A and B are shown apart, each in its own frame.
Chain A
Amino acid sequence: QQQVKQSPQSLIVQKGGISIINCAYENTAFDYFPWYQQFPGKGPALLIAIRPDVSEKKEGRFTISFNKSAKQFSLHIMDSQPGDSATYFCAAKPGAQKLVFGQGTRLTINP
């Protein structure tokens, strides 16, 4: 119930391509869905987040797509760049309770 399942575990994309990472959840009480970007040896940084009242949110090259009925959400990185190579974590939380993290996706953008 409290799990967030993230896929794929690793992803290799060519420069300029679209990177897509997917997450699925079961707990319908989740009402906040952030994505975090983490570089090696650094803490996670909030990238973009969405609430369930919208189906899509875009910030620059990053877009979250949210499907409430399917209980799925995904991160799309357009025009992927080598600097986007990092580990990405989806997460979810119900109200003021703690964040539940996905397993992480190691993204590599080949130049």
Chain B
Amino acid sequence: GAVVSQHPSRVICKSGTSVKIECRSLDFQATTMFWYRQFPKQSLMLMATSNEGSKATYEQGVEKDKFLINHASLTLSTLTVTSAHPEDSSFYICSARGRSPYEQYFGPGTRLTVT
């Protein structure tokens, strides 16, 4: 099956700093990538959708200036959490879709802790 990687798997940062999370599709070209946020014991919440070379489309209520998404190539998307605060602590998961509009593969997730 298709493999999606994320880096780092865990990150701890201080309040007010920025942190970047990378998402890579390892064995396929991802025309569309998605970023999700998941709180403990809850479902996945879509934050934004990005297409290679285009600006990301953010879901309602997600601050685009705080969560910067870049999809610079068909295998790499990044999520930068700017001026992080403790309430941004969460599990962030990226997902990638290839040529098929249906199959969507998820990365292993990144645990962000803001102190």
Contact = CB atoms under 8 A, between A and B. Distances in A.
Interface residues of A, number: 21
A45 interface: yes
Contacts of B104: 34, 46, 99
Interface stretch (A11-19, A64-72, A74-82, A88-96): A88-96
Given A98-B49, A103-B43, A104-B43, A46 B101 contact: no
A96 B101 contact: yes
B79 to A, nearest CB: 14
A62 interface: no
Contacts of A101: 43-44
Counting chain B residues whose Cβ lies within 8 A of the other chain, the interface size class is 20 to 34
B43 A49 contact: no
Contacts of A106: 41
Given A43-B109, A46-B104, A49-B102, A104 B93 contact: no
B106 A44 contact: yes
B42 interface: yes
B102 A43 contact: no
Interface string A24-39: 0000000010101000
B58 interface: no
B101 A43 contact: no
Contact of B93 (A44, A96, A102): A44
B102 A98 contact: no
B43 A43 contact: no
B108 A43 contact: yes
Given A44-B106, A49-B102, A89 B49 contact: no
Contacts of A103: 42-43
B28 interface: no
Interface of B: 1, 4, 6, 34, 41-44, 46, 49, 91, 93, 95, 101-109, 111
Interface of A: 32, 34, 36, 41-46, 49, 89, 93, 95-96, 98-99, 101-104, 106
